[in-house]
Chains A and B, each alone.
Chain A
Amino acid sequence: GAVVSQHPSRVICKSGTSVKIECRSLDFQATTMFWYRQFPKQSLMLMATSNEGSKATYEQGVEKDKFLINHASLTLSTLTVTSAHPEDSSFYICSASSENEQFFGPGTRLTVL
């Protein structure tokens, strides 16, 4: 149980385009989902906390207009990187919270050319 999926697993896009990443909790409902960014050989940086039906709470320094988060249902949250640039290339990981424990998705590797 407690499986979280992410789609796509890898995406390559051109600079200036937008990319949407989906995070789904497959066998449980998650009122809260989290989005992280991980740079090579570094730790996870929390970007935002997403609560179903309400606006996401962004961490300091994260541009909310660039990283759009939508949590439309109890099993789906999406992260859209708008007008992507090469510096947005990274590994994006989501997690879904259930009974005070976070379950992580496998991550999405974004490469912006």
Chain B
Amino acid sequence: GDSVTQMEGPVTLSEEAFLTINCTYTATGYPSLFWYVQYPGEGLQLLLKATKADDKGSNKGFEATYRKETTSFHLEKGSVQVSDSAVYFCAPQLAGGTSYGKLTFGQGTILTVHP
């Protein structure tokens, strides 16, 4: 079945450090790929997405590239801020059949950024 393996946390960084959160997936076909962020006490927000191979999604300084050959969608940011402290979820979205539109969430990675 479809699954997502996401880098386990928690991840603790100092402000302005480089961030990488790994995400790999198994799925039939070519899913769209999403990263969601959940700030403390809030619901999920879309951070970025990529819908086909080699696409790069970017938002708020975060980037992730759709790597078909390695079935990966690693999240990166060159310089994190305290306000980036949150939980990050990788989520491929199935593209067709009876499971159309379903998101499969990774386990989430808690990021804490210290001043």
Smallest distance from the beta carbon of A72 to chain B beta carbons, Å?
20
B43/A100 in contact, CB under 8 A? no
- B interface residues, Cβ below 8 angstroms from A: 32, 36, 42-46, 49, 89, 93, 98, 101-108, 110
Cα A33 to Cα B102 in complex, Å, equals 10
Q: Are A106 and B106 in contact (CB under 8 A)?
A: no
Known: A41-B110, A43-B89. Is A101-B46 also a contact (CB below 8 A)?
Answer: yes
Q: How many Å from the CB of B91 to the closest CB on chain A?
A: 8
| Given contact pairs A44-B89, A46-B102, A46-B103, A104 touches B45 in the complex (Cβ within 8 A) | yes
Known: A97-B101, A100-B32, A102-B101. A42 touches B107 (CB 8 A): yes
Could you show 10 A-B contacts with beta carbons less than 8 Å apart?
A34-B102, A34-B103, A41-B108, A43-B89, A49-B101, A57-B98, A97-B101, A100-B32, A102-B103, A104-B36
| Bound form: Cα–Cα A95–B104 in Å | 13
Are B102 and A49 in contact, with the CB atoms below 8 A?
Answer: yes
Main SS at interface, chain A? strand
CB–CB A44/B105 < 8 A: yes
A46 to B108 CA separation, bound complex (whole angstroms): 14
Besides A44-B89, A44-B105, A104-B44, 15 new A-B residue pairs in contact (Cβ under 8 A), listed by A number: A32-B101, A34-B103, A41-B108, A41-B110, A42-B108, A43-B105, A43-B106, A46-B102, A46-B103, A93-B43, A93-B44, A100-B93, A101-B49, A105-B43, A106-B43
Q: Residues on A close to B: CB < 8 A? A: 6, 32, 34, 41-46, 49, 57, 93, 95, 97, 100-107
CB distance from B93 to the nearest CB of A (A): 7
Name A31's closest neighbour in chain B (CB-CB). Answer: B101
Assess whether B108 is in contact with A43, with CB atoms less than 8 Å apart.
Answer: yes
- Contacts of A41 on B, CB cut-off 8 Å? 108, 110
**In the complex, what's the smallest C-beta–C-beta distance from B89 to chain A, in angstroms?**
7
